[in-house]
Structure formats: structure tokens, C-alpha cells
Structure 1
Amino acid sequence: MNELLTRLTSYIGTLPADWDTNVIFITAASFVAWVAWRIIYSRLDPIVDKTKFQWDNLTLHALKTPVSTLIWCWPATVSIGILLQNRFQSELNWLSTLKHLLVIAIFLWIVIRFINNVEKYVLSQKKRDETTVQAIAKVTRLIFLVIGALTIMQSFGLSLSGLLTFGGVGGLIVGLAAKDLLANFFGGLMIYFDRPFKVGDWIRSPDRQIEGTVERIGWRMTIVRTFDKRPLYVPNSVFSSIVVENPSRMLNRRIYENIGIRYEDSAHVANVVSGIKSMLEKHPDIDTNQTLIVNFNQFGPSTLDIMIYTFTKTVNWIRFHEVKQDVMLKVLDVVHENGADIAFPTQTIKLDKPHAPTLEQHIQIEP
């Protein structure tokens, strides 16, 4: 322990007398700059909150933490440079590279925070399509991350032309090795640009057992919440090879029913048909601009069948069933008002009269 203290003391003695003064001065200057930034931020924050223009809020909040980090990290690299340069008496070129990387990292940090803030703000307004906003935000973040990565590589002395040439060959190899991952990525792009569905839509596929509400559309997979509240994770590449039905984009919902009238009420069928059609045409929740059919359809085994084919104005599932219930109850009223009734399954059994026994069949001959 004493030997370690002796070596540390001798090392400090070899440093120039002014190294500690410079480092302390730089640290003090960093602290003053950080305090000044905090004061400026605290003054600007209530001012920008009062403005109707929201971009200043988003920009200021994006700058808060990265600027504080830059205020401390940049002087720290200068202090490290002073200590090491005085010790080794040589130029430290890697420190300039470190400072360059620090600036790039802070810039990317600010941009990513700004994009995230804009995304959250736009989604909170609920005036834009959530899927489109998320897609634009993801693509923008990806673009800046790629630009930042290329800039960092160039800072290390790598040739971008050679890197891009190598990337073409390497991209082919990676593409073959990760074809499923790339298929999911491009499947996600297809969903974002073609927009067969968006977050919140109810979708189902006749080809696969996929049905539920879209909860999230990612780069690799889409999360569908089934109606029994189980999450279903579907790779995006699946949607490029299956048929997807989107009931959420229906313009109307259909009521398609067949009701049976008793055969003994055949004289009232015409009046029942016209009464039901008139009722539907006057119903406030029925879209009369769509197909509306009420016809005597067929002779059933025990009923005279009347087909009802019409569309509701609402597409909401719960409201649709309320309208359908009201329509069916009014159909019953029309049937009863015309002196008819709904038939129920019946069977008619025809029994032939038994033959009268002959006299010979009643006489028992005893021995």
C-alpha cells in the first residue's frame, strides 16, 4: 500500500504544475455553462408553453438532455487531452476523433428525440392515421441513423465508396442468409404503403385462422388482438401471400333473414310482404340507397318463406344488432297485424284405415 502511494505521488510530481489549474478551470466553466443552460431552459419552457405554435415546445424538449450532456462531455474530453498530452508529450489524434463522434452522437440524439416528440404530439391529436404517422416516424429515424452510421465510419477513415461497394456484395450475402427477415421487412413496407389495414382495424383472413383487432404494426411482425383477448403475432411476410378481409371498412352491414309463414295464412302473404317492405323503407336506421328486397321466396316443407334483404346505416357491431332486433320485432308486428303468424316446424302423418277383420279370423276352431 505504501509503495502504491509512493508511485502515485511520484506520478503527480512529474505533471506540470498548471495541469490541475486547467482541469479545475474547465470543470468550473462546465458547471457554470450547465447552470446557465438550466436557467435558460427554465425561463424558455413557460414561454413556449404559452404559444399556439407547438414546434417550439417539441424542439426545446428535444434539446434539454442532449445539450446538458454536451456541456459536460466536451470539456471532459479537453481535460483528458490535457492530462494525457502532458503525460506522454505527444499529440493525441484520437481525441479529435472522439470529439467528432461526440458531436455526431449528440446531433443524432437530438434528432431522434425531436422525431419521437413530434410522433407523440401528432398521435395525441387523434386527427391523423396512426399507422401512417408511425411509418413516417420509423422511416425518418432509420434515414438519420443510416446517415449517422456512415458519418461515423467516415470519421474512422473508411472510404464510403469502398464501403458502398462492399455493401453491395455483403448485402447479397446477408440477403440470402436473412431472407425471412427481409421478407418481413418488405412485408411491413407493403402494409405501410398499400394500407390494407391500420392500427385499430378489425381484420380476418379466410386463408388462415387470423381474426381480431390490429394492435401494432412493426417492421418484422404485426400484433393482432383476438376477440378472446389473446395476442396473435403474425410475420409481415404472411400478409403478402394471403387474402385479408377488413370488415372495419364496411360501408353498411347487411340484414339477411328468411321468415316462414304458416300455409293456412297463404291469403295474407302478399299483404305481409308489402307491409314489411313499407316498414323497412320508413325505418330511420335502414339505408334505402342500398339494395332492399322483400319477396315471397319459396315453398318450404312447413312454411311459406319470405326473404328479407337490406342494409343498415351503421357499421358498429353493437349498434347493428340493436337495429336488427328492432327490425325483426317490427316484422313480427306486421305479420300479426295482417292476421298471420310465424310457422314452426310441423309434420303431417297420414294413417290408412285398418281393414275390418273377417269372420273366419274371429272363429277359433277347437278340436
Structure 2
Amino acid sequence: MNNEFTLFIYSSLLVAYFGLFYLLFHKMNVFLAKESREHFKTQLVCRATKYPLVVLAVVVPLCPAILYLQELVGFEGRSLKTLMVVFHLSVLTWWLHNVIAAFEGYFLRKPDRDQTTASAVAKVAKIVLYSVSGMVFLSQLGVNLSAIMTFSGMSGLALGFAAKDIVANFMSSLVIHWENQIKLGQWISSPDEDIEGIVRAINMRTVEIERFDKYPMFVPTSKIVSMSISNHSKMSNRRINEHLGVRVMDVKLIPVITEKLQNYINDSILLDQRHSNFVYLNKVAASSMDLWVNLYSRSVDWVHFQSIKQQMLLDMIEIIEGCGAELAYDVVELKDLPENTQS
């Protein structure tokens, strides 16, 4: 009779438990369906809690029943209790992993956030989480942690020599995140190696670079740290460095041409007037006089810069032709000889 009453009480509590869980789960789904900037952090935590909560809701009610059956049968041992503790720790680790991943995804979706730092912090947090969880699991299973630490200390030196490249890449990835010289989405290149493209991922061992031909390139982080890197995304201006050749016969027009070109450059709103924008006669060749054009555009966007460069060069060519001069070409001009020189 006592067992039947206990079973009745447990069944009633189980029905009430699942009823309350259904209401809570329904309220959570309604809350998550609403996009709110004021409660976005709470929503991230709720999304991370959703599935671990379902697992707990199903398994937790079974724990008292398992313990009751253990006492009823008379089974002695800590295996079932240990199993339940490990299960709860696993769900807790799962939930913390989801929370870290949710906040990492949130920061990676925001263009105004430092995505590289967010990714690095998330990776370090996951490593710490897995390390602590692993030690707690081993402790619950009765493993002697001090023996493991002693063994790891003795074998660490041998493993260090065997995996020195992996260790070097791991430490280099930390240096990249710490110095913050390159970030996700930036355009980088190296004068030392045939490396150029957009940074897509900074992992613990490699840096993923998307080349402009759309092929992915995976470069070891130790190589990135040791070689020279040009970060094109951090430039403040783009430079127009060109030479315009004018015919030698138009030498008397050079002062007028350079003056008009300089006035045009000084009045251009496409150029950054804080820098030295100029045009001067730089070289006198056999068939041309080269005008050196050195300009700095306001825009650093590659496509827009090409449009600015084209417009500036066409306008300057028009100014040169408007002064009565022409551009020099590598051609041979044949003229008729005077009649008294013909034989």
C-alpha cells in the first residue's frame, strides 16, 4: 500500500511537472519569436537554453524513479548516481557551449563589432570550458587527476618536440589576435610570398584567405607572423601615380599645361587636399617630356578608385589638348623633304 501511494504521488507530480514545463516552453517560444533590441541578450540565453532544457525536462523526472528502484531492488553502488552527475554536467557543458556560440554569432553578424576579437574570445572560452569539464568528468569517474598531471608533465617535453609546428601555429594565432594587425574581411598581401586576398577566418592553426580568383588559401599562422604583410584595408587613401608624355615639340607649352593641371587638381573634390597632390615635368626623353602626376583620392574603395582615376586622367588629357599640345607616342613621323634637297 505504501508503494502504491508513493507511485500515485510521483505520477501526479510528474503530470504537474510536464504541464508546467509545457507552459514554460510555450512562453519561451513566444518570447523568442519577438525581435527586441532591449532583450536581445536574454533571447540569446533563451535560445541557448531551449534544447538542453528539453533534455533535462525528459530525463530529470526519471532520476528519482531510478534512485527509488535502486533502493527497492537493494542494489548498492555509486554507478547510477555517478551516471546522473555526469549527465547533468554534460547538459551544463552543452548549455554553456550554446551560450558562447550564441554570443559569438551575434557579434560576428554585427559589422561594427570587432569580429576577430569576438572569434578569438569565443575559441579561448570553449577551450577553457572543455578543459574544466573534462577534468570534472574524470574526477567524477574516479580518475586520479594528480597522476594525469604528472604524466602530462613528463610527456609534455616529448610532445612539444613532436608537435612543435602545431604549438608554433597555436602561439602565432594568439599573437595575431593580440596584436590585431589583421581582421576578418580585410584585404592583405605579402611582398615575400604569393599571398593576396581577403581574410575569411583566423583559426588556431591556419589563416583562411580567399584569393581574388575565388580559390581558398590556407596559410599557417606561424608563416603569417614571420613574413611581411601589407594590409590594404587599413589604408587612408589610394594613390594615383602616373606619367603623361607630351611631345617634345610642345616644350614651350609645358609651363601653361602644368599650371592648368595644378589648378584642376587643387579644385577637385575627389582628391584629399591634405596630401601633396601635384604635377611636374619629371623627365625629358628622346621623343617625349614626361609629366609626373601624383594624387591621393578620398575614396579607398577599389572599384570607386578606378572610376576616379579614369575620370582624372581623361580630364587631364583634355586639358593638355586644350592647350594645343598632344600626347607623345612611340611612333616615327615622316615628313616630306624640301624640293631643293631631293635628288
Question: TM-score, normalised on structure 2?
Answer: 0.88
Write the distance in 1 (CA, Å) between the matches of 2:172 and 2:190. 16
Write the distance in 1 (CA, Å) between the matches of 2:182 and 2:188. 7
Aligned length: 337
Q: Which residue of 1 aligns with 2:103?
A: 118
8 Å CA contact 2:235–2:300 kept in 1: the answer is yes
Quick one: which of 270, 277, 293 aligns to 1:285?
Answer: 270
Write the distance in 1 (CA, Å) between the matches of 2:293 and 2:12. 85
**How does 1:89-238 map onto structure 2 within 5 Å?**
89-238=74-223
Deviations along 1:267-304, one digit per CA (max 9) or x if unpaired, are: 10011111111111111111121122311111112001
Q: Which residue of 1 aligns with 2:48?
A: 62
8 Å CA contact 2:31–2:43 kept in 1: the answer is no
- Give SS of 2:207's match: strand
Instruction: Report the AA paired with residue 58 of structure 1.
Output: L
Q: Which residue of 2 aligns with 1:249?
A: 234
Instruction: Report the AA paired with residue 319 of structure 1.
Output: H
Cα 1:66–1:80 shift into 2, 3 Å: same
Instruction: Report the AA paired with residue 90 of structure 2.
Output: A
Q: CA deviation at 1:318?
A: 0.5
Write the distance in 2 (CA, Å) between the matches of 1:38 and 1:219. 42
Instruction: Report the AA paired with residue 174 of structure 1.
Output: L
Cα 1:35–1:221 shift into 2, 3 Å: farther
Write the distance in 2 (CA, Å) between the matches of 1:183 and 1:216. 18
Q: Which residue of 2 aligns with 1:8?
A: none
Instruction: Report the AA paired with residue 45 of structure 2.
Output: T
Q: CA deviation at 1:71?
A: 2.4
8 Å CA contact 1:302–1:347 kept in 2: the answer is no
8 Å CA contact 1:293–1:310 kept in 2: the answer is yes
Q: Which is further off, 33-42 or 72-81?
A: 72-81
Cα 1:241–1:105 shift into 2, 3 Å: same
Q: Which residue of 2 aligns with 1:301?
A: 286
Write the distance in 2 (CA, Å) between the matches of 1:237 and 1:128. 26
Q: CA deviation at 1:18?
A: 5.4
Write the distance in 1 (CA, Å) between the matches of 2:11 and 2:129. 32
Write the distance in 2 (CA, Å) between the matches of 1:99 and 1:238. 47
Q: Which is further off, 100-109 or 119-128?
A: 119-128
Q: CA deviation at 1:82?
A: 4.4
Q: Which residue of 2 aligns with 1:53?
A: 39
Q: Which residue of 1 aligns with 2:20?
A: 36
Instruction: Report the AA paired with residue 60 of structure 1.
Output: C
Within the alignment, does 1:267 sit opposite 2:267 as a pair?
no
Q: Which protein shows a greater Rg?
A: 1
Quick one: which of 202, 214, 224 aligns to 1:239?
Answer: 224
Deviations along 1:95-122, one digit per CA (max 9) or x if unpaired, are: 1211221121111111111111112222
Q: Which is further off, 134-143 or 78-87?
A: 78-87
Instruction: Report the AA paired with residue 199 of structure 1.
Output: L
8 Å CA contact 1:77–1:95 kept in 2: the answer is no
Q: CA deviation at 1:81?
A: 4.5
Gaps of 5+ in 2: none
Q: CA deviation at 1:159?
A: 4.1
Q: CA deviation at 1:224?
A: 0.9
Write the distance in 1 (CA, Å) between the matches of 2:238 and 2:12. 71
Instruction: Report the AA paired with residue 59 of structure 1.
Output: V
Q: Which is further off, 115-124 or 253-262?
A: 115-124
Q: CA deviation at 1:186?
A: 1.5
- Give SS of 1:182's match: helix
Q: Which residue of 2 aligns with 1:365?
A: none
Write the distance in 2 (CA, Å) between the matches of 1:200 and 1:194. 17
Within the alignment, does 1:328 sit opposite 2:309 as a pair?
no
Q: Which is further off, 46-55 or 165-174?
A: 46-55
Please give the root-mean-square deviation of Cα atoms over the aligned residues, in Å: 2.9
Cα 1:66–1:287 shift into 2, 3 Å: same
Gaps of 5+ in 1: 1-16, 357-367
Q: CA deviation at 1:77?
A: 4.4
Q: CA deviation at 1:34?
A: 3.7
Within the alignment, does 1:73 sit opposite 2:59 as a pair?
yes
Instruction: Report the AA paired with residue 235 of structure 2.
Output: M
Instruction: Report the AA paired with residue 191 of structure 1.
Output: I
- Give SS of 2:244's match: strand
Q: Which residue of 1 aligns with 2:261?
A: 276
Q: CA deviation at 1:322?
A: 0.5
Write the distance in 2 (CA, Å) between the matches of 1:80 and 1:63. 25
